Structure 1
Amino acid sequence: MPDHVRPPVTVLGLGPMGQALAAALLAAGHPTTVWNRTAARADPLVARGARLATTVDEAVRASPLTLACVIDNAAVRQIVEPAAVALKGRTLVNLTADTPRRARTMSEWAGSHGVDYLDGAIMTPAPTIGGPSALVLYSGPEDSWQTHRPTLAHLGGSADWLGPEPGRAAAYDIALLDVFWSAMSGVAHAFALAQAERISPTVLAPYARGIAELLPDLVDDMARRLDTDEHTADVSAIASAATSMAHIIEAAVEHHLDVGAVRAAHAAALRAISAGHGADDFSRMPQAYAVGASTSPGVDVVAP
């Protein structure tokens, strides 16, 4: 498609991800308007042909489609609320990471102001945007998705619509980030424990990668077992896993290391055992976490 027929797009927020989004749109030939609280961040994009708006209202009026990518949905609301009249009849795609509940709240706000709303979750780092490995998930009204799908496709890689429920993309995001940060925290804790035992991280690393390579098959197996409710242990059971976790806790405590994360996993395993599932496969563990979430006092990580 010739450059001159590309629809214009506005990008609000020019952190590393916002800059990557705007750069990808410029590279695809979209007239791109940008806005950021610190205007100087737009300089490299302006040098490439972007137009810098001095206000959010001006930025929104420049395009039928606005992408927002900032720190959280509270910041999105603070930015777009003064421009609600300008946004009316246009589409806001919120690519800001936050909780599913807040995504639904943003959708309700948009609907009350006559703004079409899609929620999005960017699942790959900023350097991938515009390239074949990028992955962005979307949820919200299908007609809005279909209207802007050709433009959003220029962000690169895969663009998957998950359905009309506005919190769906954020729910995927939270679950997948749980995988990532739990795993990375486990790696960091493992290196701390290894160093306490005078094992070089670079010496341990090949063995750690070997452990990590077991995970893809285990992820698929757990998903299958959860979908079919089949938890007969073929190799090892939750009781065995709990014993292994107890050993990790004991060794880490001896070296005065924080054991909060592994202790939480151990507590979930003990709940599963107490419920009579000690001989079952580890795939029973999600149920044990659900029980913990409903019975642990004083746990409330949802900000008002």
Structure 2
Amino acid sequence: MTNFIDSPYVKEFSKITFRLYDHGWDERNGGNISYRLTEEEVSQYDDVHDVLRTIPIDFDGKELAGMFFLVTGTGRYFKNIIDFPERDSGLVRITEDGKSINILWGFNDGGKPTSEFPTHLMGHAARLKVDPNQRVIMHCHPTNLIALTFTFPLDEKELTRTLWKMQTESIVVFPDGIGIIPWMVPGNSKIGNVTSEKLKEFSSVIWPHHGIFASGTTIDEAYGLIETIEKAAEIYNIIRSTGGDILQLITDQQLTELAQAFGVTPKEGYLEV
């Protein structure tokens, strides 16, 4: 018998949730991840073919009907998923009417997906229109990026330009820039709708004073995107904390040269060259 808990998907999921916790970005039960899997990937396991429970969702997910998602559980601590993946995460399938999810594996103590799951589903739907290979939505609380939202104007162009100039890698990793929404109460369809609209334009969205909502074609890509944004925010905060003058920056011309060298297209109108 081949069980889903032994799959590379659960192992990868468990590893990355612990690393997010270990970075200090997912304290307590903060943060959530959803990982879209294909029917071919799921069907090879013997213990995922029966519906264990059906749960309604606060989102019309009909355009995602039949899709499978490995998702973190509500109220669950990221530090524990590596030891208890079948308790603190689960595999779900969106029902054909898009109004419910079928739990196929996991949440074995009666739990259910993160309260942010409708927001994740809205995000997946938005990003799939941009990139049909999109598979991951990752939400966490990077310390330096959150701190930045208290001291920097919440302007997408200016924040993106500043973080591009903090390190050579930034424009290569997030050439599409970073979206920003107003502060909002999390865990409801309102923030999901606003975030998903931004995800049509940006691969990552800042929730001020809260964290980041990022997407990717793989778990590594989404994680690496957040790592790079957080590193740039950390560098900016260190520079500010010294109180000294900035003597040099990466220029817009140099950013243009970087983009050309690495074959990426910067957000239109963000560079002044």
TM-score (norm: length of structure 2): 0.27
Higher share in strand: 2
Looking at both structures, which has the greater relative contact order when contacts are Cα pairs under 8 Å and sequence separation is at least 6?
Answer: 2
Q: Larger radius of gyration, structure 1 or 2?
A: 1
Task: Output the TM-score relative to the length of structure 1.
Answer: 0.25
